Amino acid sequence: MIALHPKFFALSAVLILTLMSSCQSCNQDNPLVAAFVDSDGDGWYDENRNQRIDLFIDSVDNNSGTMFGGRPAIAIDDRIVAFSNQSVPTDVPVATRTIGNWGAPERTDAFGANLRLTNQIDISSATPTRITFQNLNATFTASVSGFVVRFRTVRTLFPDPSPNDANADNDADGLTDKEEASIHTQTARSAGSPLDKDILLVVGFTHPDWKLTQKSIDLLTTVFFDRRRINLTIFTQEDRALGLTPGQIRIDGEVPARDHRLSLAEGRAVRSQLAASDLSEFGVDANLDMSLLFHVLVLAEHLANDDWGRAEAGSAANDLVCRSHLPFLGPDHFEYQAKDVMHELGHNLGLCHPPLSDSTCPTGSIPQAERNGGQSAMGTPAEAAGPVEVMIEALSRPLDYTPGQWANMDLRRLR
């Protein structure tokens, strides 16, 4: 019997893919042909050939094989998967990647993710280590900061949820199946699957002193995933995927003064600077206006009319501006910045201040027991009794929504 080299099979798979993608009139009743069909051209195979690769952490030990000294805080990309002295949930994926018709189950692909690990309480300043994994059922280890992390990858196959409708939105996140494919091929992040809800947020600032902090990014990404398995992907000046140019904004062609008082109208006007509409040069369909897929956040030292934040009330609800920090206390004191962004983003998603969350709220009412501003990031200091109470409420409200608000939010209000 003649032994065939493994490269033969890889080459054969690539050849079959090439032939099938160029065959528009082939007999789709032929099982071989049908396996490679994408009827609506949305980037996802009709049949059970699309791949989902989930990355899990099975265990974390120090180099001696014990947990003497405590458990470290761990983050993957921008999500904290375990805080200091907490065990890692081994049944929850720490990252996910998907492959549609730009790949095939017969081919091995590689992916990357950023791992941060520290035995300090604050993980935001930990240096990331790049780890790689493949679309295989496999295990591997990574040694970081004196710890050994044991990873596991699980690959599952799935069909296009709507094989005849490229504009379907099966996960109800405001992104069509075709757009999900474009996002994933360009970002190599957990975002961009027709099976998982996504929120995409691109961030600008009037001055670098007012940028979104890594701590805020970590906390926001973590709470959205932990509460509702929503992949909040935040693009800053460090991440220029999808033709994005986050970072310093210009107003009327000029870099604004450090103390510029930003209005929501100005924040809305700089959207085109931060999120490009035409990404045809990146291989994205020119008919897709990619700028519509993003919420745009701009931070400043002060906002017009001394506001703390402003967001879109109607539809499309996709622009927000925030005061970046508390005077004298900075952005991360009592998680102020993250709470302010979560508040205004909540308005974009149709949420109201808890006392006003009745039937007139765009996404409906919440239970009466939840209509207390102190129970949600949607609470506002304006509801407090006096100036002292204003500061107390601004600092003490949680980085969270109420259960009714999480259930009511509508990601499709993006456009």
Over 338-390, what HEC string results? HHHHHHHHHHHCCCCCHHHCCCCCCCCCCCHHHCCHHHCCCCCHHHCCCHHHH
Backbone torsions φ then ψ of 92, nearest 5 degrees = -115, 125
Q: Give long-range contacts, CB 8 A cutoff, 24+ apart: 226-231.
A: 227/400, 227/401, 227/406, 228/197, 228/406, 229/196, 229/197, 230/173, 230/197, 230/198, 230/199, 230/411, 231/96, 231/189, 231/190, 231/191, 231/196, 231/197, 231/198, 231/199
pLDDT for 30 equals 57
Which of the listed residues 99, 132, 158 is the one where a domain comes to its end?
158
Looking at the domain assignment, is residue 9 inside a domain?
A: no
Where residue 401 sits, what CATH number does that domain have? 3.40.390.10
Whether 358 and 267 share a structural domain: yes
To 10 degrees, the CA torsion angle through 271, 275, 277, 283? Answer: 180
**Residue 399 and residue 254 share a domain:** yes
The domain boundary residue, chosen from 138, 158, 178 = 158
CA-CA distance, 405 to 351, in Å (whole number)? 7
Are residues 373 and 275 part of one domain? yes
Q: How far apart are the first and last CA of the chain?
A: 61
Residues in CB range of 104: below 8 A, 6 or more apart: 13, 17, 49
Q: Are residues 323 and 400 in the same domain?
A: yes
User: Residue 315 has what pLDDT?
Assistant: 81
Q: Is residue 30 part of a domain?
A: no
Task: Provide the 3-class DSSP secondary structure of residue 414.
Answer: helix
Query: How would you classify the pairing of strands 138-144 and 198-205?
Result: unpaired
Do residues 317 and 223 touch, judged by C-beta distance below 8 A? no
Q: Which residues are paired to 40 by β-bridges?
A: none
User: Residue 52 is part of which domain span?
Assistant: 38-158
In three-state secondary structure terms, 37 is coil
Domain boundary among 158, 179, 209: 158
**Shared domain check, 204 and 109:** no
For residue 262, give the 3-state DSSP assignment: strand
Residue 5 lies in a domain: no
pLDDT at residue number 8: 42
Same domain (yes/no): 321, 382:
yes
In DSSP notation, 44-63 reads S-SSTTEEEEEEEEEEEEET
d(CA 63, CA 140): 16
Query: Cα separation of 36 and 173, whole Å?
Result: 27
pLDDT of residue 199: 96
Residue 182 lies in a domain: no
pLDDT given for residue 229 in this prediction: 97
Query: Would residue 403 count as lying in a domain?
Result: yes
pLDDT per residue of the chain (415 residues) written in tens, 0 to 9? 444 444 444 444 444 445 444 444 555 555 556 788 999 999 999 999 999 999 999 999 887 655 555 789 999 999 999 998 889 999 999 999 999 999 999 999 999 999 999 988 889 999 999 999 999 999 999 999 889 999 999 999 999 999 999 999 999 999 999 999 988 877 778 899 999 999 999 999 999 999 999 999 999 999 999 999 999 999 987 665 667 888 999 999 999 999 999 999 999 999 888 887 666 665 666 676 777 889 999 999 999 988 889 998 888 899 999 999 988 788 998 899 999 999 999 999 999 999 999 999 999 999 999 998 889 999 986 666 666 666 666 678 999 999 999 999 999 999 8
Q: Is 277 inside any structural domain? A: yes
Domain membership of residue 209 (yes or no) is yes
Q: Same domain, yes or no, for 257 and 126?
A: no
What total number of domains does the chain contain? Answer: 2
- Are 347 and 236 in the same domain? yes
Q: Does 151 lie in the same domain as 43?
A: yes
E strand or H helix that includes residue 23? none
Enumerate the β-bridge partners of residue 61.
Answer: 148
Largest CA distance in the chain: 87
Domain shared by 238 and 383, yes or no: yes
Between CA 413 and CA 407 the distance in angstroms is: 15
State whether 345 and 208 are in the same domain.
Answer: yes
376 lies in some domain: yes
**Can you give the CATH number for the domain in which 138 is found?**
2.60.40
Residues 65 and 213 in one domain: no
At 284 the pLDDT is 65
Q: Determine contact, residues 378/351, Cβ cutoff 8 Å.
A: yes
